Chains A and B, each alone.
Chain A
Amino acid sequence: MKNKKDGKGGFITTTLNSMLGWGRKFSLFQYPFITACCGMEYMSVACAHYDLDRFGMGWTRFTPRQADMLLVVGTITHKEAPVLRTVYDQMTEPKWVVAFGACAVSGGIYDNYAVVQGIDRIIPVDVYIPGCPPRPETIINALIKLQEKIQKEGHEWRFQKKRS
């Protein structure tokens, strides 16, 4: 498998990568790290009305070891931040993080002593979903964007540096 470094690669490599991307994006196992009000919108987007299962993300794995997408839903306070970091470290590669809601993106309306101003101060984030709380259509739009990112990300997965 030569030509790995300049990212182009031959026919077999690119087909393999796109197959990997296709497989990964349609079978995301999510771990919803729910803390606050956005959890209600997460519950309603995962249930029958705005179904997430049709995108392949139906299975909510309740343990980080079996999940590959971490959905940080709700406000993260300074007391909760080490817990979030531990959960992120417990997940195995490849993993993606989605910051769900204004509080996870940037601290939201709470700018005070107790709230972390955005989870990207602690863990690297792939997709940011704004809104307080975001509508289900926004969430689905963001998750489709994440799926496109995963599709394109199939390249060089074995040689990618561990993100932390």
Chain B
Amino acid sequence: MAISKEKILEDLKEKLSDNILDMTVQFGDDIIRIKKEALLDLVNFLKNDPYEFTMLLDLTCVDYMGEEERYEMVYHFFSLSHNLRLRFKTRLKENDFKIDSLTSIFRNANWLEREAYDMFGVHFSGHPYLRRLFMYDGFKGHPLRKDYPLRKQQPKIPLRK
């Protein structure tokens, strides 16, 4: 059963009326900014019939250094049956750098969230095994933040047994 994109966005607005901050279109992509508490409700709503957004394409974080709400989490969801992509963004403050984990719903969120934790330091509550993915244990800092210099050399750590 085909649903148009406009109907999905309308239904979304109805369901999460005050948790949606705005909906824009940039270069042909739909972007929806939400509050961080609404994330799990939103995902559960979209996953079921008739919307069927059953695939989490991507999960990443962006650092806007200098702004008050420094970090922004970006989620891309995809619906195979309707061939639609949606992008959801939510802002996080630096001293409240936590968000709910999506591991219980999408299994690839496990590694994607570990990558976001490794590169930025965002903490996912409910993640079963939040541990660095790319860098080695003992690496200090989070490389993709804007205040981490590109060529910084780390102090030496003892050889792992």
Binding site for B on A (CB under 8 A): 78-79, 82, 111-114
Contacts and interface: CB of A to CB of B under 8 A. Distances in A.
Contact of A113 (B150, B159, B160): B150
Contacts of B148: 113
A79 B136 contact: yes
7 contacts: A82-B159, A82-B160, A111-B151, A113-B143, A113-B148, A113-B150, A114-B135
Category for how many chain B residues contact A = 10 to 19
B154 interface: yes
B153 interface: yes
Nearest to B135: A79
Contacts of B159: 82
A89 to B, nearest CB: 11
A79 B118 CA distance: 14
B152 interface: yes
A164 to B, nearest CB: 14
A114 B148 CA distance: 12
A135 B148 CA distance: 36
Interface in B110-152: 134-136, 143, 148-152
Given A79-B136, A111-B150, A113-B151, 19 more contacts: A78-B136, A78-B154, A79-B134, A79-B135, A82-B159, A82-B160, A111-B151, A112-B150, A112-B151, A113-B143, A113-B148, A113-B149, A113-B150, A113-B152, A113-B153, A113-B154, A114-B134, A114-B135, A114-B143
